[in-house]
Amino acid sequence: MNSDEIKALDQQYVMQTYRRNPLAIDHGKGAVLWSPEGKEYIDFTSGIGVCSLGCANEAWANAIYQQAMKVGHISNLFYTEPYAKLASKLVPAAGMKAAFFGNSGAEANEGMIKTARKWSFEKYGEGRATIITLRNSFHGRTITTLKATGQDHFHEYFFPFTEGFRYAQANDLASLEAASGDDVCAVMMELVQGEGGVNPLEKDYVQSVAKLCAEKDWLLLIDEVQTGVGRTGSLFAYQQFGVEPDVATFAKGIAGGLPFGGFLVGEKCRTVLRAGDHGSTFGGNPIAAAAGCVVLDTILADGFLEKVQEKGQYLRERIAAMESPYVTGIRGMGLMLGVGVQGMKHSELKDKLLEAGLLALTAGKDTLRLLPPLTITREELDRGLAIMEKVMK
């Protein structure tokens, strides 16, 4: 089928909940993708930060095949080796105590919220379940995580939402203090706001929040669904901010393209969720966990994360040096970068890049978001940058 035929079927039979690009992707290798028509694209999106090892990574594909031929699914009523192995790699490297495995970012955040509320209920009783989140955040699309998301336009239509969320301004400790109260059990935040516009929090602010949490006995909940698993140049972004979360979620990049998400708990929350409190039929599926082991082995290998930092720095420098009337600046961490756009809608710029052969994302109101595969080569970066230079002039 060609792109138009695929698009026609989709438009007839699929709910049109996405503003899809007018293009089908047929296959790829690394950071290069091809349409069914054979047109070549450089990928600065990695499927929204999911394909951490790029497209069609051989070790990843082999692990998936091998595991599918052993046992593809058995449920959480039994132990499997990839599941236990993945947890044993992830937990110590993250400096945490235990993991729970589910399937997506929103589900991971739901589990983190449940953990915080149960912890507080067991210690303090009822009436202390409110979680403070930040303006401009994004935490998912379930009824609860929509409400946790600090953007008003996500709080329409689907009433009633889950109660117990208040919002504070990012990088503003006074705003957080103003939102505090006896009903609060936790603060939840992304360290680089992703969908909200690639806005990194200030290190001082994050450390002050951690201090305030310690003073008030609030839990520090970090949503690393987008920032986690090497994206910012460390396994988790909190490792660069010098804070230790009580619970941290991950999802997008963990299994390199298969659906997988989960959360990690520190000592305080180590035993909060017990048998029967939480679960997931597909969670920790052995095929996805085997894929996750390959991703972790790759990114935790000597020098890999330093290279992510170097590649991010290289991208920043090259983009900062572009003489474009449309670029206002570049921000972010590692290979999670936001380019400020002026004089054109960010989506229009994204469309022009696509036409010229580069896949990019948008974020917030005026930001072009770049999330290339962590394994992207210098040559692939240069090809993508050349397209940007041409289009942005």
Ligand X SMILES: *Cc1c(COP(=O)(O)O)cnc(C)c1O
- Footprint of ligand X (CB under 6 A): 104-106, 109, 138-140, 190, 194-195, 223, 225-226, 251-252, 261
Structure tokens at 377: 């080569």
Query: What is the closest distance, in whole angstroms, from the C-beta atom of residue 104 to ligand X in the complex?
Result: 4
Of the pair 35, 142, the CB lying nearest ligand X is at: 142
CA–CA separation, 148 and 163 (whole Å): 9
Of the pair 118, 252, the CB lying nearest ligand X is at: 252
Of the pair 312, 357, the CB lying nearest ligand X is at: 312
Report the DSSP beta bridge partners of residue 359. 43
Q: Strand locations in the chain, DSSP E? A: 27-29, 32-34, 40-43, 98-102, 130-134, 165-168, 184-189, 192-193, 199-200, 219-223, 247-250, 261-265, 327-333, 336-341, 358-359, 361-363, 367-370
Query: What is the closest distance, in whole angstroms, from the C-beta atom of residue 105 to ligand X in the complex?
Result: 2
Query: What is the closest distance, in whole angstroms, from the C-beta atom of residue 138 to ligand X in the complex?
Result: 5
Of the pair 54, 262, the CB lying nearest ligand X is at: 262
- Residue 298 has φ and ψ, to the nearest 5°, of -70, -50
Of the pair 190, 380, the CB lying nearest ligand X is at: 190
Of the pair 54, 261, the CB lying nearest ligand X is at: 261
Q: What is the DSSP string of 105-163?
A: HHHHHHHHHHHHHHHHHHHH-TT--EEEEEBT----SSHHHHHHSB-GGGSSSSPSPPS
Query: What is the closest distance, in whole angstroms, from the C-beta atom of residue 346 to ligand X in the complex?
Result: 17
Of the pair 102, 357, the CB lying nearest ligand X is at: 102
Buried residues in 169-196 as b, exposed as e (16+ CB within 10 A):
ebbeeeebeebbeeebbbbbbbbbbbbb
Residue 89 CB burial class (10 angstroms; 0-12, 13-18, ≥19): middle
Other Cβ atoms within 10 Å of 68 Cβ, number: 13
Of the pair 209, 387, the CB lying nearest ligand X is at: 209
Structure tokens at 183: 């009903």
Angle at CA 208, nearest 5°, toward 149 and 195? 25
Report the DSSP beta bridge partners of residue 102. 261
Q: Closest Cα to residue 285, out of 107, 120, 126?
A: 107
Of the pair 128, 139, the CB lying nearest ligand X is at: 139
Query: What is the closest distance, in whole angstroms, from the C-beta atom of residue 267 to ligand X in the complex?
Result: 24
Structure tokens at 282: 């597909």
Query: What is the closest distance, in whole angstroms, from the C-beta atom of residue 228 to ligand X in the complex?
Result: 9
Query: What is the closest distance, in whole angstroms, from the C-beta atom of residue 275 to ligand X in the complex?
Result: 25
Report the DSSP beta bridge partners of residue 330. 339
Query: What is the closest distance, in whole angstroms, from the C-beta atom of residue 369 to ligand X in the complex?
Result: 10
Residue with the CB atom nearest ligand X in the bound state: 105
Query: What is the closest distance, in whole angstroms, from the C-beta atom of residue 271 to ligand X in the complex?
Result: 26
CA–CA separation, 191 and 188 (whole Å): 10
